[in-house]
Amino acid sequence: MRILQENPDLTQRELAEKLGVSVGGLNYCLRALMEKGWIKVQNFSQSKNKFGYVYILTPRGIAEKAALTSRFLKRKMEEYELLKSEIEALRAEVGDGDFNAKRKEEA
Give residue-wise pLDDT tens across range 55-81.
777 788 878 888 887 787 788 888 889
- Which residue, 64, 61, 44, is CA-closest to 53? 44
Spans of the chain below 50 pLDDT: 47
pTM listed for this prediction: 0.49
How much is the pLDDT for 86?
92
- Sorted by where each begins, the domain ranges of the chain are 1-57, 59-107
pLDDT confidence of residue 89: 92
Measured CA to CA, the distance from residue 89 to residue 68 in angstroms comes to 32
Specify the pLDDT at position 105.
64
Closest CA to 64 of 89, 95, 32, 96: 32
Given this model, what pLDDT does residue 19 score?
A: 87
* CA atoms of 79 and 76, how far apart (whole Å): 5
Q: Domain 1-57 adopts which CATH fold?
A: Arc Repressor Mutant, subunit A (1.10.10)
pLDDT of res. 103: 61
